[in-house]
Amino acid sequence: MKQYVVDAFTDKVFAGNPAAVCVMDKRLDESTMQSIAIENNLSETAFAVREGDAYHLRWFTPGGEVELCGHATIGSFHALRTFGLVSAGGTYIGETLSGALEIAVGKDAILMDMAKPRAFER
């Protein structure tokens, strides 16, 4: 596993919205991901692992898992592009607890189509 800290929504160091991004070869258990998020002590720590044609994404705060995090998703795909794991000009799928996200990776931008919300169950 490799971990990066990415500042989303900026082109300046120490600006924007920071998130830790963990790029993994295989999934980690929830307890380990939670411990990493607690140690990072950022608003979110993203965990990304490629599975087939998609990336499986999860996000943890120091207090627990969240179903969706925009800036950590953008940060994840920025890290994946920077280190040659995805290509500019490509469109990728992120499988998440909140549904599938479509992420378009450009040379200078990462665009995310938010998942359709799940039906509210009573």
Give the DSSP per-residue string, 2-37.
Answer: EEEEEEET-SSTT-SEEEEEEEESS---HHHHHHHH
DSSP-derived 3-state class of residue 119:
coil
Residues carrying an active site annotation: 44
Q: Which amino acid is at 42?
A: L
